[in-house]
Amino acid sequence: MAWSKLALLLVLLLCTVDASAKEKSGGKKGKKGKKVICPSQLSAEDLDRVPGNSTSNILNRLLVTYDSRIRPNFQGIPVEDKVNIFINSFGSIQETTMDYRVNIFLRQRWNDPRLRLPTDFKSDALTVDPKMFQCLWKPDLFFANEKNANFHDVTQENLLLFIYRNGDVLISMRLSITLSCPLDLRLFPMDTQLCKIQLESYGYTTKDLVFMWQSGDPVQMDEIALPQFDVKQEDIKYSNCTKFYAGTGYYTCVEVIFTLRRQVGFYLMGVYAPTLLIVVLSWLSFWINPDASAARVPLGILSVLSLSSECTSLASELPKVSYVKAIDVWMIACLLYGFGSLVEYAVVQVMLNSPKRIEAEKARMAKKEKEKEKEAKKTPSKTPNTINGTGGTPIHVSTLQVVETRCKKVCTSKSDLRSNDFSIVGSLPRDFELSNFDCYGKPIEVNNGLGKSKNKNNKKPPPAKPVIPSAAKRVDLYARALFPFTFLFFNVIYWSVYL
């Protein structure tokens, strides 16, 4: 008994939920797609209730016998549908998906003799509720290169419907459309793209319906600023794109072509300038000492890694096309120059560590030193060798100072030393003059011309400098000129071709 009651409660609960869901869905449908009752579906009694002198009665008389399933001039001349577009906004081009988005007012105007206003209607045009659009025949226009589209219904359906006295029908609707635009990126980012909007008939052949652009400027737009492109009113072109499909025939089609010129400023500041500086930075290694590998190798590797990172980030923003783009040529050239600086240092290192080249360099340096010594011996000394011009025993100035010190310790005439008269030096024994010991047998310091003692020569000599072959220096010297000049030549060719 308890189980049966529980099952009954569950059934009642499910029925309640189902009913509420249907109510909600029905409410939504009624809000968006409420069925419109056309005058041709009204009964005679309903038509009689409308006052005879009212606009509603005129509209009822026009549509009471109207059949929206049949086109105007049936089995006669084709209907001419004049189209024009007003562009509210123009979205940026997406290179990865090759499409763009626009928000437009699409306007169509055609003549339907069945909708001529009666003579008792005073106005030249009748503004009709957009819901009555469902009661009229309309061209089956669609966008041939459309990817996604939607109508706008906030706060009401963005739809306008006019009926003119001569039977012309004008409709205007607001649409947001995503359109495909095949891009040719061979000149990217100095490229110019042509993007189209194609309006085509889906079911009516050219025997029944013909699209044509309205005279004047059929596509109007305010001044539009795109992030990367320039689009101008004078660059818009119009053409006929009527298509033939085997088995069904010719279908009318018109298209508008936008010429979009890319602004290269963003890529100059974001790609070209940084990569140019990185390449120049890699050349600094040519001025660093060849044996400073701790400085040169990281500089070259950093340059190559930075350029590789820039190439990767740029490739992620562009479609994977099979041809080479202009910016690819630039990035490849920069990578080659960065890699070339590393290869250049590898060549320098090979020469730097070559035993044959090191021995040859040492021999060359020794030969040069010998030549200098020979030249020094051949050159006569310009320093006078006599003391006070007396023609005494030649002696060096530093030796003279030693003699003076020693003479002070010897029992000689102190008055002569105070007066700096060194004429007595010539009378001293030669071995006494050149000895490094004083009269008491203690060693003395003999100073050179700079005032430094000879005892300092006993210190350890500084470590010998590494021998750098002249061939390695020549490679760096040639690279300093070759890399900048070839890169400059590449820039001249690159910008003259792609600009």
- Reported as a single tens digit per residue, the pLDDT across 382-423 is 544 444 444 444 444 445 454 455 444 444 444 444 444 444
Residue 475 scores a pLDDT above 50: yes
Quick one: which H or E segment has residue 265?
helix 265-267
Q: How crowded is residue 55: how many other Cβ atoms within 10 Å of its Cβ?
A: 14
Find the mean pLDDT for residues 211-223: 91
CA 283 to mean position of chain CA atoms: 24
What are 276-315's pLDDT values in tens digits? 999 999 999 999 988 888 889 999 999 999 999 999 999 8
Instruction: Look up the pTM and report it.
Output: 0.70
Question: Using CA atoms, how far apart are residues 319 and 341, in angstroms rounded to an integer?
Answer: 31
> In the chain, pLDDT over 70 holds for what percent of residues?
75
Q: Where are the beta strands (DSSP E) in 112-265?
A: 125-128, 141-143, 146-151, 159-164, 168-180, 192-201, 209-213, 219-221, 229-230, 237-240, 243-245, 249-251, 253-262
Question: Using CA atoms, how far apart are residues 259 and 378, in angstroms rounded to an integer?
Answer: 84
* Residue of 342, 327, 337 lying closest to 277 (CA atoms): 337
* Residue of 107, 39, 114, 109 lying closest to 72 (CA atoms): 114
Please calculate the CA angle 355-356-359 and round it to the nearest 5 degrees: 85
* Confidence class for position 113, pLDDT limits 50, 70, 90: very high
Tally helices (H) and strands (E) across the chain.
Answer: 12, 15
Residue with tokens 């100035």: 397
Residue 490 scores a pLDDT above 90: yes
Give 384's DSSP letter: -
Q: What are the tokens at 449?
A: 């011309």
Query: Which amino acid type is present at position 272?
Result: Y
Q: Dihedral of CA 54/55/61/65: which sign?
A: negative
Question: Using CA atoms, how far apart are residues 499 and 489, in angstroms rounded to an integer?
Answer: 16
Taking a C-beta distance cutoff of 8 angstroms, is the pair 57, 51 a contact?
Answer: yes
What are 140-199's pLDDT values in tens digits? 999 999 999 999 988 888 999 999 999 999 999 999 999 999 999 999 999 999 999 999
Residue 2 scores a pLDDT above 70: no
* Mean confidence (pLDDT) of the chain: 80
Residue 484 scores a pLDDT above 60: yes
Find the mean pLDDT for residues 54-71: 85
Taking a C-beta distance cutoff of 8 angstroms, is the pair 216, 222 a contact?
Answer: no
Find the mean pLDDT for residues 480-495: 96
